[in-house]
Chains A and B, each alone.
Chain A
Amino acid sequence: GAGVSQSPSNKVTEKGKDVELRCDPISGHTALYWYRQSLGQGLEFLIYFQGNSAPDKSGLPSDRFSAERTGGSVSTLTIQRTQQEDSAVYLCASSLAPPTQYFGPGTRLTVL
C-alpha cells in the first residue's frame, strides 16, 4: 500500500469492554511498532515486532495490553477491560530497516 493504515480511526467504548485496534504496515516492511500518545504528550513506546523474532513487549503498561502480528504483516493491538486512562491515540509505525519509521494516522480511543 501507499502507507501505513490503521482502523478504526476512532473508537468509543465503555469502561470494562475489550477493544481491538488494527494496523496494516507498508508492504514489505519487516518492523512494526505500536505507540500511545496521550493528549498533548509525546509518544510512549508499547511494543515492537521485527520479522520472526520474539516481539519486544517492554513498553506494554499492563497485562491488559497485548499485540500480535500475523504472517509478518497485519498487527492487532488488544486492550482488555479498558479503563479511562487508556484513552489516547494509538499510533502504529513500520520500517523496512532501522531506523526511519513511517507512521499511520492513528486510532483515537475514548473510554467512557
Chain B
Amino acid sequence: GQQVMQIPQYQHVQEGEDFTTYCNSSTTLSNIQWYKQRPGGHPVFLIQLVKSGEVKKQKRLTFQFGEAKKNSSLHITATQTTDVGTYFCAGPSGSSNTGKLIFGQGTTLQVKP
C-alpha cells in the first residue's frame, strides 16, 4: 500500500546547528503537508506544498517539494530550543483529494542548549 517514510527518526543537535528531515512517498503526491508536534502536544499544521519543485520559507524553516512530487524536505537553520518537537510530513491517500492523509512516522528533534 501507499507509504510515506521519514528519515531520520531522531536527531539531536546543538543549539545553533542546522537540521534537516526528509520525507519520501511511495507514490506521486498532489500535495504534501508538514506538521509539528511539541512534546505532550498535538500536531499543528505548518505548511502545504503543491507545485513540483516548490520551495517555501517560514523564518528559519525552509520546505521543499521534489520535482517528481514524491519527496520533500524541511530544513531548519540555526536551531533554537523552541524548535524541539516531532515533525511529520503527510500526503493525500490515493489519487482523490478527500482530505484523508497518510502521515510519515515523524522526525523527533532534540536541541541541546
Chain A positions near chain B (C-beta within 8 angstroms)? 31, 33, 35, 40-43, 45, 48, 50, 56, 91, 93, 95, 97-106
Contact = CB atoms under 8 A, between A and B. Distances in A.
A100 B33 contact: yes
Interface residues of B, number: 24
A13 to B, nearest CB: 21
A99 B99 contact: yes
B42 A91 contact: yes
B33 A45 contact: no
B99 A98 contact: yes
A112 to B, nearest CB: 22
A53 to B, nearest CB: 9
Given A33-B100, A43-B43, A105-B42, A99 B31 contact: yes
Contacts, number: 60
Nearest to A4: B42
Contacts of A56: 98, 100
Interface of B: 31, 33, 35, 41-45, 48, 88, 90, 92-93, 97-106, 108
Contacts of A40: 108
A91 B42 CA distance: 8
Contacts of B42: 91, 103-106
Shortest beta-carbon contacts, A-B, top 7? A98-B99, A42-B105, A103-B42, A43-B103, A103-B43, A31-B99, A48-B100
A31 B92 CA distance: 14
18 contacts: A33-B99, A33-B101, A43-B43, A43-B88, A45-B103, A48-B100, A50-B99, A91-B42, A91-B43, A95-B99, A97-B99, A100-B33, A100-B48, A101-B43, A101-B45, A101-B99, A101-B101, A103-B35
Given A91-B42, A105-B42, A42 B101 contact: no
